[in-house]
Structure 1
Amino acid sequence: MSPTSPDAGAPRRILHVFRAPVGGLFRHVVDLTRLQAGAGHAVGLICDAGTGGARAERTLAELAPQLALGVLRVPMRRNPDPGDLAALRAVARRAETVGAEVLHGHGAKGGVYARLAPVRGAAGAPGGGPIRAYTPHGGSYNYRPGSLLHRLYMGVEALLARRTDVFLFESAYVAGRHRAYVGAGRTVTRVVHNGIDEAEFVPVVRADDPFDLVYVGELREAKGLPVLLDALAALHGAGRPLSLLMVGSGPDEAALAARAARLGLGAAVAFEPAQPIRPVLARGRVMVVPSFAESLPYVVLEAAAAAQPLVATDVGGIPEIFGEAAGELVPPRDPLALAEAIARLLDEAPAAREARFRALSEAVRARFSMRSMGESVLSGYEAGFRARASRGPAPAAGRRGPASA
């Protein structure tokens, strides 16, 4: 993507708003930032001040030379909180100060801030104020349909849709959930798959004495990790004493370590903090993604691109990544099915296994281009500007005091 690309549009002033600078969502924002800055746009970030740790600090410092609109870190809570009002005011002040033309919210909390921040009219946006773009990254769309929380959050999304100029769904799965539970509406809607860089298609070189299995991601129950441990215990019981490396951080780390110990797996499971994925892939024979819900997870894209042998559950947008090979996916919440899939993959002839995952890598290369992702997001912004010009600004979020308030 270049400044003269037909999809790039006029140079814009873009603020990405999200809560936690961790995981796949943060990677997506970082990739977009680099692509958009490289295409001549002025880009800035707004995120939580208290999450991400040293790794996020390093990434933001490396990104700083490309951030013409800078980085603002303010306290943001995961769940609804009275502090959200202060965060909304901070987002609005920043947008006004830098003359933002696009407020792009990522994830449920970032989407709330980007769409509700009461920004006064900006010269660059037809109808006054920046356009509001939203990429859910799963979030509230992953709650079980029919549950109280699902009904509540879909009601909130229906209200926020009135403040949205363009939806940029990262998977057809989430776009379908939006249509089913929020409604199609008249807002510009695009499916923009996460993209992978060409360097990520280089196969990893297996480390000496690798673990049998590796998991990379958040350490929380919704990622299916209790099921993975139960599957590992079943494999041990069947005479297959496999080892597992779990890389990541999260609120359930202590509970998972305790569960592994209760299952007699203490010596078979190793925990390590979050780190770059490719060296981790090299340390495992098979990567396992046992999630209960996902949108379009980068860890699956990254592993598939690297031709890493992979067992994953049939949830969210994962079938979109596997494409014609989606029949190989495993039902979620089923430890015996997961154990059987792992055993089958480990027992497969090495040449056949390598050929199968090389084919998946080539399919991902053809369908999940980072360049295409960047151009499609910019094209979505421009469609949002055109729609805004034709219908006028979105409903006001309310009045507020002077920018210094």
Structure 2
Amino acid sequence: MKILHILRAPIGGLFRHVKDLAEQQANEGHQVGLITATPTDNDYVKQLFADIEPIFSLGIDHLTINRLPGLSDYQNIGTIKNIVTAKSFDVIHGHGAKGGAYARLVKRQLGDGSKIKVFYTMHGGTLHYNPSSPVGFVFLKLEKYLQQYTDGFVFESENSRRLFEQKVDKLKKPFQTIPNGLSKDEFYKIKPVADAADFLYIGELRMLKGVDLLINAFAKLCKAHKGLKLIIIGYGPEEELFKSMVAKAGIYDHVTFLPPTPAAEAFKLAKVQVMPSRAEGLPYMTLETIAAQMPLIASDVGGIPEIYGEYSDLLFHSEDEAQLFTYMQNTLDGKSEHISKVVDLQKFVKQNFNVEKMARNIINFYTH
């Protein structure tokens, strides 16, 4: 098959998912192409695309893709239609809100005579919006309209499937829930550096990710414990807001902000990772942290309880800053199940979240 993947931002877990899926598809003899927004011009991203280029035998195309709808989208859809036609793709798989919209609007333009199949994985996306907000109302209505141009939905978690039917519409097209997965060599025991920080955050710097909750809880801990360190890795639209929060709390000497760093390298920098998100799909960062036997304090949002399974009592309730503080405090006092259960949790994830199985199930879904 000739398979085209479309997504907006070539960063984070969504991009990781597409890369892993495309690599498995290429290994099975399929020809794969990729369309993303023009990436950030830095050495890390340049190397990332250089590394993945061999996977995409049908090429990597970059377009100017804005997060919110605009006139440029109309031009982009025409460009993608031309790429699809010129390279005779059999399958388009859209990822995230913008990638999914492009994939299905291209099918609309191709018309009823086209044999191309279009699949869509939301990865959270529009499901994070409140239906009662003006923006959420418009985006969710668009999702409902585009269902007619969708040959199949791939949900990464049962939570995402339930939210779709609650917020968008009853599913009228084929769907499967296929969780993200890791490769066997990603399961190991991390060894922190000698002067490792006490806590770590990796991800987008957005209120949606709960970074403010982490900063507030950490500031309270600093009043009771001397010399604590927190490392925050990532970038995002609210980076300056979080830096000002740190300064206002008087803990700037205790917090270090770093640019995006490969997860395996970042894990070495601290003893415990914190994921205080207000909304998630089925985050790779959760899987990767558990696979490395790194203690993790995470919120109970999105598909995270599905990752934890029988260990979901380790999660704190989203927005509950007091519970987050207590869990962080316990790791400092050596009383934490977040530390004592890392091996059991790693074993559970290894048994249930496998990248080869993920890719095989998605490819089978394309053809049935």
TM value normalised by structure 1? 0.87
Contact 1:286 1:311 in 2 (8 A): yes
For residues 194 and 124 of structure 2, what CA distance do their matches in structure 1 show? 36
For residues 41 and 320 of structure 2, what CA distance do their matches in structure 1 show? 32
Deviation at 1:379, TM superposition (A): 1.3
Structure 1, residues 142-192: CA drift from partner, whole Å, max 9, x if none?
123533333322211110111100000111111111122223333110111
Is 1:254 paired with 2:240? yes
Unmatched runs of 5 consecutive residues or more in structure 1: 1-11, 384-405
**Number of the residue aligned with 1:372:** 357
CA spacing shift, 1:224–1:52, aligned 2, 3 Å: farther
- Secondary structure of the residue aligned to 1:83 is helix
Of 304, 325, 332, 1:318 maps to 304
- Cα RMSD of the aligned pairs, angstroms, is 1.8
**Number of the residue aligned with 2:283:** 297
**Number of the residue aligned with 1:140:** 126
Which has the larger displacement, 268-277 or 323-332? Answer: 323-332
Is 1:54 paired with 2:40? no
For residues 107 and 86 of structure 2, what CA distance do their matches in structure 1 show? 13
For residues 283 and 145 of structure 1, what CA distance do their matches in structure 2 show? 40
- State the structure with bigger RCO (CA 8 A, min sep 6), 1 or 2: 1
**Number of the residue aligned with 1:163:** 149
Contact 2:10 2:39 in 1 (8 A): no
Is 1:242 paired with 2:228? yes
**Number of the residue aligned with 2:85:** 96
For residues 39 and 332 of structure 2, what CA distance do their matches in structure 1 show? 41
Contact 1:194 1:298 in 2 (8 A): yes
Deviation at 1:258, TM superposition (A): 1.2
Structure 1, residues 354-391: CA drift from partner, whole Å, max 9, x if none?
541110000000110001110111011112xxxxxxxx
Which has the larger displacement, 165-174 or 241-250? Answer: 241-250
For residues 54 and 159 of structure 1, what CA distance do their matches in structure 2 show? 40
Is 1:107 paired with 2:96? yes
**Number of the residue aligned with 1:42:** 31
CA spacing shift, 1:300–1:130, aligned 2, 3 Å: same
TM value normalised by structure 2? 0.95
For residues 374 and 52 of structure 1, what CA distance do their matches in structure 2 show? 30
**Which one has the largest radius of gyration?**
1
Which amino acid is the alignment partner of residue 133 of structure 2?
Answer: S
Of 302, 307, 320, 1:334 maps to 320
Contact 2:100 2:121 in 1 (8 A): yes
**Number of the residue aligned with 2:219:** 233
Which amino acid is the alignment partner of residue 259 of structure 2?
Answer: P
Deviation at 1:20, TM superposition (A): 0.9
Structure 1, residues 196-234: CA drift from partner, whole Å, max 9, x if none?
111111111121111000011111111101111000111
- Pairing 1:168-183 to 2, within 5 Å after superposition: 168-183=154-169
Is 1:273 paired with 2:259? yes
Contact 1:92 1:119 in 2 (8 A): no
CA spacing shift, 1:88–1:53, aligned 2, 3 Å: farther
- Secondary structure of the residue aligned to 1:128 is coil
For residues 268 and 354 of structure 1, what CA distance do their matches in structure 2 show? 23
Deviation at 1:267, TM superposition (A): 0.4
- Secondary structure of the residue aligned to 2:253 is coil
For residues 50 and 207 of structure 1, what CA distance do their matches in structure 2 show? 31
- Secondary structure of the residue aligned to 2:358 is helix
Which has the larger displacement, 192-201 or 111-120? Answer: 111-120
Contact 2:107 2:118 in 1 (8 A): no
Is 1:306 paired with 2:307? no
For residues 166 and 108 of structure 2, what CA distance do their matches in structure 1 show? 31
**Number of the residue aligned with 2:270:** 284
For residues 27 and 286 of structure 1, what CA distance do their matches in structure 2 show? 22
Which amino acid is the alignment partner of residue 356 of structure 2?
Answer: R
Contact 1:213 1:244 in 2 (8 A): yes
Deviation at 1:239, TM superposition (A): 3.7
Unmatched runs of 5 consecutive residues or more in structure 2: none
For residues 220 and 191 of structure 1, what CA distance do their matches in structure 2 show? 27
Which amino acid is the alignment partner of residue 84 of structure 1?
Answer: D
CA spacing shift, 1:120–1:235, aligned 2, 3 Å: closer
- Pairing 1:160-239 to 2, within 5 Å after superposition: 160-239=146-225
For residues 132 and 41 of structure 2, what CA distance do their matches in structure 1 show? 33
- Secondary structure of the residue aligned to 2:274 is strand
Deviation at 1:241, TM superposition (A): 4.7
Of 37, 52, 61, 1:63 maps to 52
For residues 321 and 219 of structure 2, what CA distance do their matches in structure 1 show? 9
- Secondary structure of the residue aligned to 1:267 is helix
Which amino acid is the alignment partner of residue 91 of structure 1?
Answer: I
Count matched residues.
368
For residues 144 and 324 of structure 1, what CA distance do their matches in structure 2 show? 30
Percentage of identical aligned residues: 35
- Secondary structure of the residue aligned to 2:317 is coil
- Secondary structure of the residue aligned to 1:16 is strand
**Number of the residue aligned with 1:16:** 5
**Number of the residue aligned with 2:249:** 263
**Number of the residue aligned with 2:62:** 73
Deviation at 1:120, TM superposition (A): 7.0
Structure 1, residues 70-97: CA drift from partner, whole Å, max 9, x if none?
0111111110111001110111010001
CA spacing shift, 1:284–1:195, aligned 2, 3 Å: same
